[in-house]
Amino acid sequence: MTTQPSRPQFGPAPNARAHLPRRLRGILSLNDFEAAARRTLPRPIFGYLQGGVEDNVTLQANHAAFRQWLFRTSVLVDVSGRSQATTLMGERYRAPFGIAPMGLCALFAFEGDLVLARAAEAAGIPFVLSGASLTRLEDVARAAPTCGWFQAYIPGEPAHIEGLVQRVAQAGFRTLVVTVDTATLANRENNVRVGFSTPLRPGPRLAWDGLVRPRWLVGTLARTLLERGMPHFENAGAGRGVPIISRSVVRQFGLRDHLQWEHLALIRRQWKGRLVVKGVISAADVERAGQAGADGVILSNHGGRQLDGTVPPLRVLQEAARVKGGMALMLDSGVRRGTDVLKALALGADHVFVGRPMAYAAAVGGQAGVAHAIGLLQDEIHRDMALLGVSSLAELHPAHLIPA
């Protein structure tokens, strides 16, 4: 008796590509979105999103880390019932990846934060709203009531911490992500070279790049100014933050060199939901986060945007897994393929997060672009699980990998 081959459960089938918006039909992988976004965004905006710091050593190492592992496959295994659904900190998600927090997304696409949030909610994957976003956290909480998380850059004063925590709770977020790897502003030379600055300073270069990219100029910038007014950093504290052109931006987001573990303990006492610490890159700090009461940690080097030369999260994943205790262990920085996701899970991660490609997708195709990006990655994971010989993510183990 013959059986019909299993059909992919996620994303568009190849014969459905014609139904995609024309600008998405040639996008076959997350990597393809980068070139398309380069053609869409003004050079300063694209450069800000793409770049790392100094010599981009960490940025390049993040991608290279995944290539340092090769798969050992199992064959003649019935994988027809495979599933990539997963449970993370008590919540059920349809895939083992989410969208990482990224600031200034409303400059990449009209209502960029909402575009990402709605796509994630529809797909059943977590979306983390950045504390450096230009959209009110209350609006995003309504757009992603089950899958939305909020990421905070900790204000320096206890009173301001309490005000922000209360605001996040009142908005309805159940997961708070505290980023801890921003003790000072990074040396982002790339921003200077492409003409991007914080605060944003409109000038001849940005004006010219906008004119030669009319889709962004009309569809993102002009529409934002007409319908939303001058963008502000909406979520840096208990109230509205400064405009993106204000000289106070650096003061609002920079110089957190006095923050200590005691500040995290203060947040833990005030925050009743799930608490995640993002930006740790050593097993010792994973242990300290657990001692401080964190429910999860995200191994991260900020996508190669802080200290150049920092080790990729994948390289410290196994030692972190040995000391995580009951915490959820997550990872970002450099994830681009379904094989990357499976390698991270095999080495001990419970979940991974994808950043830049999702922002590129929003710039290229709005919510449809992000949905396409999510579907591509889900399709890859579904196919890769079959080729690897596993039916559930729980079956993944370091024995599936060999150092290259």
Catalytic residues: 302
Bond into 21 cis (ω within 30):
no
User: String of b and e for 353-388 (b: at least 16 CB within 10 Å)?
Assistant: bbbbbbbbbbbbbbbbbbbbbbbbbbbbbbebbbeb
Bridge partners, 202 (sequence order): none
Write the single-letter amino acid at 180. Answer: V
| Closest listed residue to residue 371, CA positions, set 362, 381, 382 | 362
Whether the CB-CB separation of 232 and 240 falls below 8 Å is answered with yes
Q: For residues 259 and 25, what is the distance between their CA atoms, to the nearest angstrom? A: 47
Which positions ≥6 away from 109 have C-beta within 8 Å? 115, 220, 362, 363, 366
In three-state secondary structure terms, 319 is: helix
Give the HSE-up count for residue 43: Cα atoms under 13 Å, Cβ half-sphere: 14
Whether the Cβ atoms of residue 249 and residue 233 lie closer than 8 Å to each other? yes
Residue 329, strand partner residues: 297
Burial of 165 (0-12, 13-18, 19+ CB in 10 A): buried
Residue in 162, 158, 133, 160 with CA at minimum distance from that of residue 150:
133
Rounded to whole angstroms, what are the CA distances from 99 to 23, 128, 373, 404?
22, 6, 11, 28
Distance CA 152, CA 234 (A): 12
d(CA 212, CA 186): 30
Identify the three-state secondary structure at position 54.
coil
